[in-house]
Amino acid sequence: MKTIQFLSLFAFAGLVLTSCSDDDPEPVNEEEVITTMTITLVPQGGGTAVQLQSRDLDGDGPEPPVITVSGNFNARTVYDGRIVLLNETETPPDNITLEVEEEADEHQFFYSIGASLSATTEYSNFDGNGDPLGTQFTFSAGDESTGNLTFTLRHDLKKPNDGSLADAGGETDIAQTFPVGIE
C-alpha cells in the first residue's frame, strides 16, 4: 500500500515537472523611463535658440548619458525655457512631459546655477495649488561667464518647499548638469 502511495507521489511530481512549458518570457514594458531631456531656450525678442540635451538610450545600462550643448548664451539676455522629456525606448517616443504636467502636484524641476555662472532662473508654470512645476521657466543670462547649469526633477517631494533640494526631499527622476557659457 505504501508503495502505491509513493508511486503516486512520483507520478504527481512528474506531472508537475512536465507541465511547466517553456514559453519565452515577454520583454518588460518599461513605464517610468526617461531617456531624453531636451531644453530649448529661446531668447525673448528673437535670436538664436540654445538647446541643451541629455540622452541615455540604454537607461540604467552601462552607457552614460550623452550631453550636448548647442551653443553659448548671449550676455544680458532673457531666454524662455521649455523642457521636453521623452522615453525613446518606445516607438514612437513617449512624451513624458505630458505625464509630469498632468501630475504637476507630485513633481517639480529645480535649477541650480554653478557659482561661477552669472545667471538667474524663474519658474514660468505652476501646479494646481500655485506651487512651482518648472517644465517652463525663464533663464536670465548675466555677464560673460562659464559654469554649470543643473536640472533636477523630483517626484513625491514636499510641496511647497523653500526651493532647495534638501528641503524638498522626494525621489530624483532626473539630475543632469550642463557646462554652459555666456558670451
Partner 1 sequence: MRTLLAIALGLFVYHAAIGQQCQEALYGQVLDFHDQTPLVGATVYILEIDRAVLTDFEGRYRIEGVCHGSYEVEVSHRLCRTLIFKVEILGNTQRDFQMEHHLEELEEVQVVGDLLPDISNTAQEQRLSTQTLENYSSGTLGDALREISGVSTLKTGSNIVKPAINGLTGSRVLILNDGVRMQDMEWGDEHAPNIDINSADQVSVIKGAAALKYAGDAIGGLVVIERERVAIADSLYGKTLMTLMSNGWGGNVSTELTRTFESGWYLNGQASFKRLGDREAPDYVLSNTGMQDLGLSFHAGKRLINQGWDFDYSYYQADIAILRASHIGNVDDLIESINSGTPSVIEPFTYELGVPRQEVAHHLGKFNYYLRIPGLGKWTAQYDFQNNRRFEYDVRVGADRDKPAIDLELTTHTLMTDFTWDASSNLEVQAGILGRYQNNFANPDTGVRRLIPDYDKYEFGTFLIGEYRLNENWLFDAGIRYDFSRIDALKFYRTSRWEERGYDEDFPEFIIEDLGTQLLTNPVFDFHNFSGSAGVRFSLDADSEIRANYALGQRPPNPSELFSDGLHHSAARIELGDLRIDSETSHRISIAYNRSGERWGLTLEPYLNFIQDFILLEPTGAEFTIRGAFPVWSYRQTDARLAGVDLSGYYQWGPQWQSRHHFSLTKGNDLDQDEPLINMPAPITRNSIAFRKAEWNGFEASLESTYVFRQNEAPPNIFVFSPAEQELVELEINTPPPAYHLLTLRAGMDFSLSEKLVLNTGIAVENLANTNYREYLNRNRYFADDMGRNIILQLKLYY
Binding residues (CB under 8 A) for partner 1: these are 2, 5-6, 9-10, 13, 16-17, 20, 24-32, 34-37, 54, 56-65, 89, 99, 102-103, 106-107, 114, 148, 150, 154-156, 166, 169, 171-177
Q: Number of H helices and number of E strands within the chain?
A: 3, 10
Q: Answer for the pair 126, 133: CB distance below 8 angstroms, yes or no.
A: yes
Cell triple for 132 = 512651482
Whichever of 17 and 45 has its CB closer to partner 1, that residue is: 17
Minimum distance from residue 42 beta carbon to partner 1 (Å)? 23
Minimum distance from residue 59 beta carbon to partner 1 (Å)? 7
C-alpha torsion 140→143→147→151, nearest 10 = 0
Minimum distance from residue 62 beta carbon to partner 1 (Å)? 4
Distance of alpha carbon 174 from alpha carbon 153, whole angstroms: 5
Whichever of 122 and 171 has its CB closer to partner 1, that residue is: 171
